[in-house]
Amino acid sequence: MASFDSTDLETIEINSLNSLQSFLSERDNSQNIFYISGIPDVCKEFPCILGIDEAGRGPVLGPMVYGTAFCPINEQMVLETLECADSKALNEEKRDVIFSNICESSKKVGWAVEVIAPNSICNSMLSRSKYSLNQVSMDAAIGLIRAAINCGVKIEHIYVDTVGKPEKYQEYLKGIFPKYKITVAKKADSTYPIIQLRKNFLVDYCDPVFGYPQLVRFSWSTSVNALEETAYHVEFEEEDTTKTPPPVNNTSITSFFKMTPKKSIIKKQHEFFSQRFLSRKVEL
């Protein structure tokens, strides 16, 4: 789930594409990264809309990024001037221009992102306690909403791109945030011609012993299949968990420490008394 350090917010400000690139390059890309922009005063004073979407959910390479943006309802026309659209329908240059324009609109628009590292995704999905990619996605969205609330954003309506069935996801979010209007919508993702490029990377950058760098999501079947084709085959001996019965007629060492009930012992009268026909009449 997303979290952030308030001390970071005081020292770090991303206000351009260059500062964003510098911020990311200084971080450990094997760890999740969270950032929230400065909150415009109008977002604290007037009711706001807040939207959440993700990028990189399906690829075998790289992180999954969850992002949110928010602005006052009476200023939402700014979104049209920014020419925001589905990232898959935009080339890299256009996305860079839009981000720069968002930074220039910092008095009306705020934003936040959580960059979920590939090894974090894999460790979650392969853990003993089931933690699916859908749940990772939902927790990231919930973390972004909570971060905006904690920073004072006056949210009125939340829009979320669905994970799974929209109705079920919407009901789940309303149970957590009952104060807000929530709309979860299903959006058809457009295909993107990058599949072959990923396969080439998996072949070229596979170490036959150690596999892939942390950029690769090793829990994806794509990387598993590429490892089977490229890496050395290794067999691990499984530990025999079947219990063998103890030998017959063999005394267990624990039997020497077992507590046995005491036998009742009848004390005989001393012969001095019996020979003289003396008996005890008074109990002490």
Segments in the chain forming alpha helices (H): 6-11, 17-25, 41-45, 77-81, 92-104, 118-125, 133-150, 166-176, 195-204, 221-230, 271-275
Q: What residues contact 166, with CB distance under 8 A and at least 6 apart?
A: 184, 185, 186
Name residue 37's amino acid. Answer: S
> How far out from the chain centre does Cα 237 lie?
31
Q: Say how far apart CA 157 and CA 179 lie, in whole Å.
A: 10
Ramachandran category for residue 166: left, alpha or beta (phi over 0 → left; psi -120 to 50 → alpha):
alpha
53 is in an annotated binding site: yes
Q: Say how far apart CA 91 and CA 61 lie, in whole Å.
A: 19
Q: Say how far apart CA 72 and CA 107 lie, in whole Å.
A: 11
Q: Say how far apart CA 214 and CA 225 lie, in whole Å.
A: 17
Alpha-carbon Rg for the chain, nearest whole angstrom, is 34
Q: Which residues are annotated as a binding site?
A: 53-54, 161
Q: Which residues are annotated as a binding site for a divalent metal cation?
A: 53-54, 161
